[in-house]
């Protein structure tokens, strides 16, 4: 290992004491772990540009303070149990040490709050992204069942990518993505009804980056973006960061209410429309054929691009598969964004965008400026997995498993949740959007969930406001059917406890 150190020539302390204080601060802060080996004195002296006597003096001082130990023939190591309070030296303020929590040294630093760009300053992290400790009955969205991952097949594809593809992509510079993967995506999209060339495909670091690139390419501050309500929080997050005005359009059992979109657009024209037509996030409904036709007509009439987030398009539970919206897009208004994380695992940050050539050229330039292109090793492994048919086999297996879990959840909800609870079988995906007969106080329900070892995704990210308190979003991605039933039984008891508490509080208030 190497260590950076800059002695202060104006300090009263000799350099060996400064170095000892610097190393002690690294040990105290956990940056040098107990038992970690330190560089030999000769090597450290050469790398720091100081004499070997200086390093030996620092090591001797630290050894006297029991911060390090030396073993003849083995080397010098951080003590297994460094002292908690004793100090052999105090590091001069503002030098060689940084407060990791604030990012500032001991002296005065930049006023970061004043320096943040306006778009960054108003960007709030959705609460749905905050994960607490693991729980037994975990209904939170955005997860995969580790026991169902095809580890052997993935290991084989990664190994072949390293051995056979690495010489070709090690110096590749195409920001559009690894050519064989773009070819595989274009071929695979035929099943979704999309006929495109590899040149029409841009590989991204997940669907989220695709949304971000589209927003950066098309939106100015103040532009209006029509979004589904309830809808995917990640899209709204991106559009807000771009400074856009969000125009929420309601969703019912047939998907986005396009008639309402048309009416609202007459009052305030939208620059962009965002929707999840295959499996609406979070309700799980599919945009019906007549509304698809109306949406495309509206886009063509007013020249409005439509972002089709093919959310859980691979994970449809019903047959036949409904073709993608872009299938009927003759004029090129539809921008299709997809991801592999929903079908495989969330941290597989590989997605794609398909759209008109002029847009794809601009998105490629923006991606190049953002990250110079997505890592090619993962792309090469995924291309091989798709080409072998492994991804499709995995998707079919996962669909069957998720379908069984969804059915178990629906049966349990019918028996365990209060009368008047409404839920429909989703067209696809891993989650159920459940409407309770009455709004529940969120903090009380969360407290009951903690006691029952339960967790689910907060719904305010998808449906802000008091109306969201009537809904639960329950993902069955990680729980087998038996645990799904037991978890929903506990959930039903938690809901009843909150309802009973609310009635008791109302009764006491009426008696005053």
The predicted pLDDT at position 93 comes to 40
- At 101, is the pLDDT very low, low, confident or very high (cuts 50, 70, 90)? very low
Distance CA 21, CA 214 (A): 50
Q: Tokens 């657009």 correspond to what residue?
A: 265
Query: For the chain, what is the mean pLDDT?
Result: 87
The predicted pLDDT at position 182 comes to 95
Listed range (121-135, 177-191, 311-325) with the worst mean pLDDT: 121-135
Q: Tokens 């979003």 correspond to what residue?
A: 473
Distance CA 512, CA 508 (A): 7
The predicted pLDDT at position 102 comes to 45
- At 131, is the pLDDT very low, low, confident or very high (cuts 50, 70, 90)? low
- At 94, is the pLDDT very low, low, confident or very high (cuts 50, 70, 90)? very low
- At 132, is the pLDDT very low, low, confident or very high (cuts 50, 70, 90)? low
The predicted pLDDT at position 389 comes to 92
Domains 127-142+393-505 and 151-388 share a fold: no
Cβ atoms < 10 Å from Cβ of 443: 9
pLDDT over threshold 60, residue 91: no
First-to-last C-alpha distance (Å) of the chain: 71
Q: Where are the domains of the chain?
A: 1-109, 127-142+393-505, 151-388
Burial (0-12, 13-18, 19+ Cβ within 10 Å), 340: buried
Mean pLDDT over 438-450 rounds to 87
pLDDT over threshold 70, residue 486: yes
pLDDT over threshold 50, residue 89: no
Q: What share of the chain is helix, strand, coil (3-state, %, to 5)?
A: 45, 15, 40
Q: Which CATH class is domain 1-109?
A: mainly alpha
What is the value of pTM for the model shown? 0.81
Handedness of CA 387, 390, 393, 398 (dihedral sign): negative
Chain centroid, CA 426 distance in Å: 22
- Residue 242 neighbours by CB under 8 Å, 6+ apart: 119, 215, 216, 219, 221, 223
Domain spanning 127-142+393-505 has what CATH number? 3.90.1150.10
Question: Is 151-388 in CATH node 3.40.50.11060?
Answer: no
């Amino acid at each position: 290992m190497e260590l950076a150190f800059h002695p202060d020539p104006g300090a009263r302390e000799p350099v060996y004491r400064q170095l000892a204080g610097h190393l002690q601060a690294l040990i105290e802060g956990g940056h040098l772990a107990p038992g970690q080996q330190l560089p030999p004195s000769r090597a450290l002296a050469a790398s720091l540009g100081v004499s070997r006597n200086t390093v030996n003096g620092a090591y001797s001082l630290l050894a006297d303070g029991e911060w390090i130990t030396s073993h003849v023939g083995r080397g010098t190591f951080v003590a297994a149990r460094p002292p908690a309070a004793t100090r052999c030296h105090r590091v001069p303020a503002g030098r060689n040490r940084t407060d990791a929590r604030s990012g500032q040294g001991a002296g005065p630093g930049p006023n970061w709050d004043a320096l943040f760009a306006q778009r960054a300053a108003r960007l709030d992290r959705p609460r749905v992204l905050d994960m607490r400790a693991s729980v037994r009955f975990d209904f939170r969205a955005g997860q995969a069942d580790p026991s169902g991952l095809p580890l052997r097949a993935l290991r084989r594809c990664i190994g072949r990518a390293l051995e056979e593809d690495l010489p070709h992509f090690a110096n590749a510079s195409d920001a559009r993505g690894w050519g064989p993967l773009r070819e595989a995506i274009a071929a695979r999209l035929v099943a979704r009804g999309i006929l495109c060339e590899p040149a029409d495909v841009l590989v991204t670091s997940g669907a989220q980056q695709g949304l971000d690139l589209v927003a950066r390419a098309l939106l100015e501050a103040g532009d209006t973006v029509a979004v589904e309500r309830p809808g995917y929080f990640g899209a709204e997050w991106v559009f807000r960061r771009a400074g856009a005005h969000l125009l929420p359009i309601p969703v019912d059992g047939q998907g986005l209410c396009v008639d309402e979109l048309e009416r609202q657009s007459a009052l305030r024209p939208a620059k962009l429309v965002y929707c999840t037509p295959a499996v609406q996030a979070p309700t799980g409904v599919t945009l019906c054929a007549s509304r698809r036709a109306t949406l495309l007509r509206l886009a063509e009439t007013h020249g409005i691009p439509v972002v089709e987030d093919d959310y859980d398009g691979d994970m449809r539970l019903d047959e036949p598969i409904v073709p993608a919206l872009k299938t009927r897009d003759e004029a090129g208004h539809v921008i299709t964004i997809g991801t592999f994380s929903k079908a495989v695992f969330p941290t597989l940050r590989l997605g794609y965008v398909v759209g008109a050539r002029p847009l794809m050229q601009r998105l490629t330039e923006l991606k190049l400026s953002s990250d110079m292109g997505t890592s090619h090793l993962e792309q090469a492994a995924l291309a091989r997995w798709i080409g072998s048919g492994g991804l499709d086999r995995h998707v079919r297996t996962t669909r069957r498993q998720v379908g069984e879990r969804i059915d178990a959840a629906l049966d349990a909800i019918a028996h365990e949740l209060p009368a008047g609870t409404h839920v429909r079988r989703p067209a696809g995906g891993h989650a159920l959007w459940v409407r309770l007969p009455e709004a529940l106080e969120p903090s009380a329900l969360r407290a009951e969930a903690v006691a029952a070892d339960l967790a689910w995704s907060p719904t305010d990210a998808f449906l802000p406001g008091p109306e969201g308190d009537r809904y639960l979003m329950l993902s069955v991605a990680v729980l087998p059917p038996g645990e799904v039933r037991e978890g929903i039984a506990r959930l039903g008891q938690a809901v009843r406890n909150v309802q009973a508490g609310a009635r008791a509080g109302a009764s006491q208030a009426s008696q005053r």
